[in-house]
Amino acid sequence: MKVTLRTDVLTNNNKAAEFNRELFQNTKTLVMNLMSSPGAGKTTLLEETVRVLAGKYRIAVIEGDLATERDADRIRAMGARAVQINTHGGCHLDARMVAAALGELDLDEIDILFIENVGNLVCPSGYDLGQKHKVAVLSVPEGNDKIPKYPQMFMRTELVLLNKLDLLPYLDFSVEEAKRDLAEINPKSNLLPLSARTQEGMHEWFFWIEGAYLKWLQQ
Ligand SMILES: Nc1nc2c(ncn2[C@@H]2O[C@H](COP(=O)(O)OP(=O)(O)OP(=O)(O)O)[C@@H](O)[C@H]2O)c(=O)[nH]1
Ligand SMILES: [Mg+2]
Protein backbone atom coordinates (compact mmCIF):
# COMPACT_ATOMS: atom_id res chain seq x y z
CA MET A 1 0.00 0.00 0.00
CA LYS A 2 2.78 2.37 0.97
CA VAL A 3 4.60 1.55 -2.25
CA THR A 4 1.47 2.34 -4.32
CA LEU A 5 1.03 5.66 -2.58
CA ARG A 6 4.63 6.65 -3.24
CA THR A 7 4.27 5.59 -6.88
CA ASP A 8 1.18 7.80 -7.24
CA VAL A 9 2.91 10.75 -5.62
CA LEU A 10 5.86 10.40 -7.95
CA THR A 11 3.65 9.90 -11.02
CA ASN A 12 1.77 13.11 -10.22
CA ASN A 13 5.03 14.89 -9.56
CA ASN A 14 6.48 13.69 -12.83
CA LYS A 15 3.47 15.03 -14.74
CA ALA A 16 3.90 18.46 -13.15
CA ALA A 17 7.65 18.28 -13.82
CA GLU A 18 6.98 17.61 -17.52
CA PHE A 19 4.69 20.64 -17.60
CA ASN A 20 7.46 22.78 -16.07
CA ARG A 21 10.07 21.35 -18.41
CA GLU A 22 7.99 22.22 -21.48
CA LEU A 23 7.50 25.75 -20.19
CA PHE A 24 11.27 26.14 -19.59
CA GLN A 25 11.96 24.80 -23.07
CA ASN A 26 9.42 27.09 -24.77
CA THR A 27 10.73 30.19 -22.98
CA LYS A 28 14.39 29.12 -23.32
CA THR A 29 14.92 29.40 -19.56
CA LEU A 30 17.84 27.38 -18.23
CA VAL A 31 16.89 25.93 -14.84
CA MET A 32 19.17 24.50 -12.15
CA ASN A 33 18.02 22.74 -8.99
CA LEU A 34 20.49 23.30 -6.12
CA MET A 35 20.37 20.77 -3.29
CA SER A 36 22.33 20.30 -0.07
CA SER A 37 22.04 19.78 3.64
CA PRO A 38 21.02 22.90 5.64
CA GLY A 39 23.73 25.53 5.79
CA ALA A 40 26.10 24.13 3.14
CA GLY A 41 26.06 27.56 1.50
CA LYS A 42 23.46 27.43 -1.29
CA THR A 43 22.16 30.96 -0.75
CA THR A 44 25.65 32.40 -0.32
CA LEU A 45 26.72 30.76 -3.61
CA LEU A 46 23.64 32.20 -5.31
CA GLU A 47 24.28 35.67 -3.87
CA GLU A 48 27.78 35.57 -5.38
CA THR A 49 26.46 34.15 -8.65
CA VAL A 50 23.95 36.98 -8.95
CA ARG A 51 26.65 39.54 -8.06
CA VAL A 52 28.99 38.30 -10.79
CA LEU A 53 26.66 37.14 -13.57
CA ALA A 54 23.61 39.41 -13.31
CA GLY A 55 25.22 41.96 -15.66
CA LYS A 56 25.36 39.33 -18.40
CA TYR A 57 22.28 37.15 -17.79
CA ARG A 58 18.80 37.83 -16.51
CA ILE A 59 18.78 35.71 -13.34
CA ALA A 60 15.91 34.77 -11.03
CA VAL A 61 15.78 32.47 -8.01
CA ILE A 62 13.05 30.33 -6.47
CA GLU A 63 13.82 29.72 -2.81
CA GLY A 64 12.52 26.72 -0.87
CA ASP A 65 12.41 26.76 2.93
CA LEU A 66 10.10 25.47 5.61
CA ALA A 67 9.50 29.01 6.84
CA THR A 68 10.47 32.69 6.39
CA GLU A 69 11.36 34.89 3.41
CA ARG A 70 14.95 35.22 4.55
CA ASP A 71 16.70 33.57 1.62
CA ALA A 72 14.53 35.32 -0.97
CA ASP A 73 15.27 38.64 0.77
CA ARG A 74 19.02 37.93 0.55
CA ILE A 75 18.72 37.34 -3.20
CA ARG A 76 16.55 40.44 -3.69
CA ALA A 77 19.17 42.47 -1.82
CA MET A 78 21.62 41.44 -4.57
CA GLY A 79 19.25 42.87 -7.17
CA ALA A 80 17.70 39.69 -8.61
CA ARG A 81 14.08 38.60 -8.75
CA ALA A 82 13.29 35.98 -6.07
CA VAL A 83 10.16 34.02 -5.16
CA GLN A 84 9.99 32.29 -1.78
CA ILE A 85 8.17 28.99 -1.32
CA ASN A 86 7.43 27.95 2.27
CA THR A 87 6.79 24.21 2.60
CA HIS A 88 5.48 24.48 6.20
CA GLY A 89 7.23 21.33 7.32
CA GLY A 90 7.76 19.66 3.95
CA CYS A 91 11.34 18.45 3.52
CA HIS A 92 11.64 19.10 -0.24
CA LEU A 93 10.19 21.08 -3.13
CA ASP A 94 7.94 19.32 -5.61
CA ALA A 95 7.11 20.22 -9.20
CA ARG A 96 3.67 21.60 -8.33
CA MET A 97 5.10 24.03 -5.82
CA VAL A 98 7.53 25.22 -8.47
CA ALA A 99 4.71 25.51 -11.04
CA ALA A 100 2.78 27.71 -8.59
CA ALA A 101 5.84 29.91 -7.96
CA LEU A 102 6.31 30.30 -11.72
CA GLY A 103 3.05 32.27 -11.73
CA GLU A 104 5.02 35.08 -10.09
CA LEU A 105 7.76 35.11 -12.73
CA ASP A 106 7.82 36.17 -16.38
CA LEU A 107 9.98 33.43 -17.89
CA ASP A 108 10.33 35.37 -21.14
CA GLU A 109 12.35 37.87 -19.13
CA ILE A 110 14.62 35.28 -17.49
CA ASP A 111 17.71 33.54 -18.95
CA ILE A 112 18.73 31.44 -15.94
CA LEU A 113 16.47 30.34 -13.09
CA PHE A 114 18.04 28.80 -9.98
CA ILE A 115 15.87 26.76 -7.64
CA GLU A 116 17.30 26.50 -4.13
CA ASN A 117 15.73 23.38 -2.68
CA VAL A 118 14.94 22.87 1.01
CA GLY A 119 18.10 22.11 3.00
CA ASN A 120 18.05 18.31 3.20
CA LEU A 121 20.39 15.67 1.83
CA VAL A 122 17.69 13.01 1.41
CA CYS A 123 14.20 14.09 0.28
CA PRO A 124 14.90 16.62 -2.53
CA SER A 125 16.92 14.17 -4.61
CA GLY A 126 13.90 12.02 -5.55
CA TYR A 127 11.75 14.83 -6.96
CA ASP A 128 12.06 16.02 -10.54
CA LEU A 129 11.17 19.72 -10.76
CA GLY A 130 11.53 19.95 -14.54
CA GLN A 131 15.01 21.42 -14.21
CA LYS A 132 17.75 20.95 -16.81
CA HIS A 133 20.52 20.46 -14.25
CA LYS A 134 20.71 19.08 -10.73
CA VAL A 135 23.61 20.47 -8.70
CA ALA A 136 24.54 19.29 -5.21
CA VAL A 137 26.40 21.44 -2.71
CA LEU A 138 28.53 19.73 -0.09
CA SER A 139 30.61 21.69 2.40
CA VAL A 140 33.92 20.89 4.07
CA PRO A 141 32.58 20.92 7.69
CA GLU A 142 30.06 18.18 6.85
CA GLY A 143 32.87 15.63 6.60
CA ASN A 144 33.98 13.00 4.12
CA ASP A 145 31.33 10.43 4.93
CA LYS A 146 28.40 12.28 3.34
CA ILE A 147 28.93 11.10 -0.26
CA PRO A 148 28.99 7.37 0.65
CA LYS A 149 26.24 7.72 3.30
CA TYR A 150 23.78 9.68 1.14
CA PRO A 151 24.39 8.10 -2.29
CA GLN A 152 20.94 8.91 -3.74
CA MET A 153 21.73 12.61 -3.70
CA PHE A 154 25.12 12.26 -5.35
CA MET A 155 24.20 9.63 -7.93
CA ARG A 156 21.52 11.96 -9.32
CA THR A 157 23.56 15.14 -9.66
CA GLU A 158 25.94 15.97 -12.46
CA LEU A 159 27.96 18.53 -10.51
CA VAL A 160 28.94 18.71 -6.84
CA LEU A 161 30.12 22.06 -5.52
CA LEU A 162 32.41 21.44 -2.55
CA ASN A 163 31.95 24.71 -0.64
CA LYS A 164 33.78 26.29 2.33
CA LEU A 165 37.19 25.34 1.02
CA ASP A 166 38.62 28.16 3.18
CA LEU A 167 37.93 25.92 6.23
CA LEU A 168 40.12 23.09 4.94
CA PRO A 169 43.14 24.01 7.14
CA TYR A 170 41.00 23.65 10.29
CA LEU A 171 39.29 20.33 9.50
CA ASP A 172 40.30 16.85 8.43
CA PHE A 173 38.39 16.82 5.14
CA SER A 174 40.16 15.22 2.17
CA VAL A 175 39.25 16.61 -1.26
CA GLU A 176 40.94 13.66 -2.97
CA GLU A 177 38.88 11.18 -0.96
CA ALA A 178 35.68 13.06 -1.85
CA LYS A 179 36.63 12.91 -5.55
CA ARG A 180 37.28 9.16 -5.29
CA ASP A 181 33.97 8.52 -3.48
CA LEU A 182 32.02 10.55 -6.03
CA ALA A 183 33.72 8.80 -8.96
CA GLU A 184 32.66 5.47 -7.48
CA ILE A 185 29.02 6.47 -6.97
CA ASN A 186 28.61 8.58 -10.10
CA PRO A 187 31.47 8.59 -12.61
CA LYS A 188 29.68 11.23 -14.72
CA SER A 189 29.60 13.78 -11.91
CA ASN A 190 32.32 16.38 -11.29
CA LEU A 191 33.46 17.77 -7.94
CA LEU A 192 34.28 21.47 -7.93
CA PRO A 193 36.07 22.67 -4.77
CA LEU A 194 35.39 26.34 -4.04
CA SER A 195 34.69 28.93 -1.39
CA ALA A 196 31.82 31.38 -1.64
CA ARG A 197 33.56 33.28 1.20
CA THR A 198 37.01 33.82 -0.37
CA GLN A 199 35.93 33.36 -4.03
CA GLU A 200 38.56 30.63 -4.52
CA GLY A 201 37.37 28.33 -7.33
CA MET A 202 34.22 30.36 -7.99
CA HIS A 203 35.32 31.22 -11.53
CA GLU A 204 35.03 27.48 -12.38
CA TRP A 205 31.40 27.51 -11.26
CA PHE A 206 30.67 30.62 -13.32
CA PHE A 207 32.44 29.02 -16.29
CA TRP A 208 30.29 25.89 -15.87
CA ILE A 209 27.08 27.98 -15.81
CA GLU A 210 28.10 29.90 -18.93
CA GLY A 211 28.93 26.65 -20.76
CA ALA A 212 25.61 25.11 -19.70
CA TYR A 213 23.75 28.19 -20.92
CA LEU A 214 25.48 28.14 -24.33
CA LYS A 215 24.67 24.43 -24.74
CA TRP A 216 21.08 25.06 -23.70
CA LEU A 217 20.65 27.78 -26.36
CA GLN A 218 22.10 25.53 -29.04
CA GLN A 219 19.95 22.47 -28.38
N1 LIG B 1 33.61 29.82 5.93
C2 LIG B 1 32.66 29.81 4.99
N3 LIG B 1 31.39 30.02 5.33
C4 LIG B 1 30.45 30.02 4.36
C5 LIG B 1 30.78 29.80 3.00
N6 LIG B 1 29.62 29.82 2.29
C7 LIG B 1 28.63 30.05 3.15
N8 LIG B 1 29.12 30.17 4.41
C9 LIG B 1 28.38 30.42 5.66
O10 LIG B 1 27.59 29.27 5.94
C11 LIG B 1 26.37 29.66 6.58
C12 LIG B 1 25.18 29.07 5.84
O13 LIG B 1 25.16 29.62 4.53
P14 LIG B 1 23.83 29.68 3.64
O15 LIG B 1 24.24 30.22 2.31
O16 LIG B 1 22.75 30.38 4.36
O17 LIG B 1 23.49 28.14 3.53
P18 LIG B 1 22.23 27.45 2.84
O19 LIG B 1 22.70 26.19 2.22
O20 LIG B 1 21.56 28.40 1.93
O21 LIG B 1 21.30 27.12 4.09
P22 LIG B 1 19.74 26.68 4.10
O23 LIG B 1 19.02 27.55 3.13
O24 LIG B 1 19.32 26.89 5.50
O25 LIG B 1 19.71 25.24 3.70
C26 LIG B 1 26.37 31.18 6.60
O27 LIG B 1 26.82 31.62 7.86
C28 LIG B 1 27.38 31.55 5.51
O29 LIG B 1 28.00 32.80 5.72
C30 LIG B 1 32.14 29.59 2.65
O31 LIG B 1 32.53 29.39 1.51
N32 LIG B 1 33.04 29.60 3.69
MG1 LIG C 1 19.59 28.99 1.87
Beta bridge pairs of residue 132: none
Q: Is the pLDDT of residue 4 over 70?
A: no
Question: What pLDDT is stored for residue 8 in this prediction?
Answer: 75
Residue range 190-194: mean pLDDT, rounded: 98
Q: Whose CA is nearest to atom 8 of ligand 1?
A: 41
Question: What pLDDT is stored for residue 140 in this prediction?
Answer: 98
Residue 155 CB contacts under 8 Å (≥ 6 apart), including other chains: 185, 186, 189
Q: Is 197 in the pocket of ligand 1 (CB under 6 A)?
A: yes
190 lies in a domain? yes
1 lies in a domain? no
Q: Is the pLDDT of residue 78 over 80?
A: yes
162 lies in a domain? yes
The tens digit of pLDDT for each residue in 128-161 reads 999 999 999 999 999 999 999 999 999 999 999 9
Instruction: Please give the number of the atom of ligand 1 that sits closest to the Cα of 118.
Output: 25
Cβ proximity of 53 and 136 under 8 Å: no
Name the DSSP letter for residue 67: S
**pLDDT confidence of 2, banded at 50, 70, 90?**
low
pTM of the predicted model, to two decimals?
Answer: 0.96
Give dist(CA 151, CA 155) in Å, integer: 6
Q: Whose CA is nearest to atom 1 of ligand 1?
A: 164
5 lies in a domain? no
2 lies in a domain? no
4 lies in a domain? no
Ligand 2 centroid – CA 47 distance (Å): 10
Question: What pLDDT is stored for residue 40 in this prediction?
Answer: 98
3 lies in a domain? no
Number of domains into which the chain is organized: 1
**pLDDT confidence of 1, banded at 50, 70, 90?**
low
Domain containing residue 145: CATH number: 3.40.50.300
The tens digit of pLDDT for each residue in 159-187 reads 999 999 999 999 999 999 999 999 999 99
**pLDDT confidence of 9, banded at 50, 70, 90?**
confident
Among residues 217, 31, 40, 41, which one has the least CA distance to residue 146? 40
Domain extent for 56: 11-218
Ion ligand 2: residues, CB < 5 A = 42-43, 71
Question: What pLDDT is stored for residue 24 in this prediction?
Answer: 98
Question: What pLDDT is stored for residue 209 in this prediction?
Answer: 98
- pLDDT, mean over the chain: 96
131 lies in a domain? yes
Question: What pLDDT is stored for residue 6 in this prediction?
Answer: 66
Q: 101-108 long-range contacts, Cβ below 8 Å, gap at least 24?
A: 101/62, 102/20, 102/23, 105/60, 105/62, 105/81, 107/23, 107/24, 107/27, 107/29, 108/27
Residue range 27-47: mean pLDDT, rounded: 98
**pLDDT confidence of 213, banded at 50, 70, 90?**
very high
Residue range 67-87: mean pLDDT, rounded: 98
Pick from 33, 43, 75 the residue to mutate for probing ligand 1's pocket: most ligand atoms within 8 Å of its CB.
43
Give dist(CA 1, CA 20) in Å, integer: 29
